[in-house]
Amino acid sequence: MKINIALQRIILSAFISIPKRIPVGGQAVIEGVLMKGPEHWGLAVREPGGSICLQAWLGSDWIKKGIWKYPVVRGFATMVEMMRIGMRALSISAEISLGEEDKISPLEMAGAIAVAVFAVAGLFVALPMLVSEYLTSHLGLSPLSKNIIEGIIRGIIFVGYVAVIGLWKDIQRVFAYHGAEHKTINAYENDAELTPESVSGFSRIHRRCGTSFLLVVIFVSIIVFSAIGGGSLLWRIGSRVLLLPLVIGISYEFIKEASNSETWGKYCIMPALSLQYITTREPALDQIEVALAALDLALHPEKAAVTKPCEAAEKSPQNSQDIVEQQSDDIMSA
């Protein structure tokens, strides 16, 4: 059970919505939702007893400074920051779900990460390359064809992987919170009434979803890796690792522009959006209630000081109330 929860943290870090001009994004966590407002993150988690615990904290500003604010580079920086914050939120939500008596130790977490890294390297890097090598060598195809086949195989594996983990009951719950997050953001961006009943009528599909982003990454990788040509197996593996930040940065800029377009962008991104029918589920009203609480907290972080904080956060050196009080002082002095 503990290893399962730890693996969930790693698996679910992919399902992130990327913020745009309206500075709201989100991520589903275990029995909860993480939202990103203009400056703050808001986390809402449903406790086993039924209450909603809340935690808010100020976002990092390093991604807005220096080279990190420029196109392409900012895409990779944003992804790193969202993964970091997402893992923090998933850790808090996992502790709340597990309770006091069944926590994940650092050793167990390290083991889960090691298993996940080897699985990702094997499934999404080594296997597509080996299969494409075999097919192209037997069929006499060009290096460009080899990269295209590799990308197609990687895409098929990714979609299949998402579909398989979606059969896991615990992941289905998270996918429902993923749907609640999307519905809430869609309602907010359309200036709708923010109640569970009103939000439930909105689509669970969102243009800036992280799962759609990953499919774009696969497509962009075909172009980038084809541009550098062929080489030995070791060179191909090394080049893919080294060029991954570039691929992520280009993909981010594409998603950013496409999500703002009602013409070319709308149709270019449509195939990637279809994957969200696998990674989201129709949420219950109580799950939408959690997503709304997270959004409200991200937009109004001072509310965490007068609501129920997450117990996992209370045990940290600086609890959520202290963080929000410090942020409120910063806001008032700005």
How many Å apart are CA 180 and CA 305, to the nearest integer?
Answer: 25
Per-residue pLDDT tens digits for 24-47:
889 999 999 999 988 889 999 999
The more confidently predicted of residues 272 and 229 is 272
Strand order in the sheet with 40-46: 25-29, 32-36, 40-46, 52-58
Q: What is the pLDDT of residues 125-183, one digit of tens each?
A: 788 888 888 888 888 878 788 888 888 998 899 899 999 999 999 999 999 999 999 99
- What's the pLDDT score for residue 123? 82
pLDDT of residue 79: 87
For the residues 80-93, what does the mean pLDDT come to? 86
Which of 317 and 69 is assigned the larger pLDDT?
A: 69
Identify the pLDDT of residue 214: 84
Tell me, what's the pLDDT at 302?
76
Write down the pTM of the prediction. 0.79
Distance CA 91, CA 8 (A): 10
Question: Would you say residue 100 has pLDDT above 70?
Answer: no
Structural contact between residues 290 and 52, judged by C-beta atoms closer than 8 angstroms: yes
Strand partners, 309: 54
Angle between helices 2-12 and 73-98 (to 10 degrees): 160
CA distances to 144, 177, 277 from 140, rounded to whole Å, are: 12, 47, 37
DSSP per residue, 30-72: TTEEEEE-SSEEEEEEE-TTS-EEEEEEEPPSGGGSGGGGSTT
